[in-house]
Structure 1
Amino acid sequence: MLRFLGKDPQSPNGDSPTLYYDEERDTYVFQGWKVTDPKRLAQMSIPEHETVIEFPRRMMQFFPEVQSGGGASA
C-alpha cells in the first residue's frame, strides 16, 4: 500500500512532484518530471525496464529519515 508523504510545496499547480512510501516493498515511489534531455540521459546507464524522473532538493524534507533527524525507518 502506498502512503502519501508530500507534494512539492512550490508546485505551481500543486500536482507534482509527489513522494510516496510503499509499505509492502519498503521503497519510495516518486512522481516527478520525466527526464527527456538526451545529453543528460546519455550520462546514465538506464536499463530498458527503468525510467528517470527528476525532483527538486526541497522534496527531501518529506523523507521520514530527514524528518526524524536520523536513519529511522518510515
Structure 2
Amino acid sequence: MRLRFLGSTSEAGACPSLYETDRGTIVVQGLTLTDAEALGDLRHVLDGESAVEVPKELLVEIARRVLD
C-alpha cells in the first residue's frame, strides 16, 4: 500500500495528519487515544484496532480540498 499526504493542522507538519491510500481509503496519523473513559465509550473495537483523536478542523479542511 502507498500513501499520499493530504494535510495536517499542525504547524510543524506533524500529527495529526491524514493520508489517502492507493486502495481508496484514508489513514489517520495521530496520538493514540488513552483516556480510559473515552476508550470505554468505543464500540465493537476489533483486535488490532486503535482510536486516534483528530481535530474537526482537519477533517473539514481535507474534505474541502478533496471535494473541490
TM-score range, shorter chain: 0.7 to 0.9
| Alignment correspondent of 2:38 | 40
Structure 1 Cα separation of the partners of residues 25 and 19 of structure 2: 9
Q: Percent same amino acid at aligned positions?
A: 33
The 5 Å alignment of 1:17-28 reads 17-23=16-22, 25-28=23-26
Divergent runs of 4+, >6 A: none
Instruction: Provide, for residues 9-44 of structure 1, a one-character-per-residue CA deviation record: whole Å limited to 9, x for no partner.
Output: xx3543111110002x11000101210011111111
TM-score normalized by the length of structure 2? 0.80
Count of aligned positions: 63
TM-score (norm 1): 0.74
The two structures, once aligned, show a CA RMSD in angstroms of 1.4
Structure 1 unaligned regions, length at least 5: 69-74
Any gaps of 5 or more consecutive residues in structure 2? none
Q: Looking at secondary structure, tell me which structure has more helix per residue.
A: 2
